[in-house]
Amino acid sequence: MVTNLLLFSTLAFAQDFQNLNQGEVAPFSGTVITPEGIAKIITIEDSKLQVCEEKSKHQIEIFTISKNTEIEKLKFDLEQQTKNSDLLIKEKDKELDRVYGLVKKQNSNLIPLWISLGFSAGVATSLGTYYIYRME
């Protein structure tokens, strides 16, 4: 379509035309186009150009709407993924706190045992040393 426009516009604006009256001979070889014919060619090509421009605008609008919709969908998906990740992290933190509490309870009950074992070992070592010293 653009090629036709360029070809016909060169015909319309060419310097090789002459206004002729009926019965006159053309001073050049080629095609003679009347002013009405030139106007018709220009009008047709202008209307084709306008149709092309309108189609292009429409396609751009459709593309823009499509991409905007896709961007909004991606934003929504990101928000949902972020919310899900936050919920998962909170649940994992709760689970870790629960397990830490259980471990802490188990370890706190062993402290008196270790203290008593240490005291007993110290007393046994002292008595053993005293006994060995006395035997000599």
Residue 25 lies in a domain: yes
Residue 111, CA distances (Å) to 73, 101, 114, 116, 118 in order: 57, 16, 5, 9, 11
Model confidence pLDDT, tens digit, residues 42-80 = 999 999 999 999 999 999 999 999 999 999 999 999 999
Number of structural domains found in the chain: 1
Residue 66 lies in a domain: yes
Residue 95 lies in a domain: yes
Residue 91 lies in a domain: yes
Determine contact, residues 48/15, Cβ cutoff 8 Å.
no
Amino acid at 42: I
C-beta atoms surrounding 44 within 10 Å = 13
Supply the range of the domain harboring residue 39: 2-100
C-beta atoms surrounding 45 within 10 Å = 19
Residue 78 lies in a domain: yes
3-state secondary structure at position 16 = coil
Residue 86 lies in a domain: yes
pLDDT class of 27 with cuts at 50, 70, 90: low
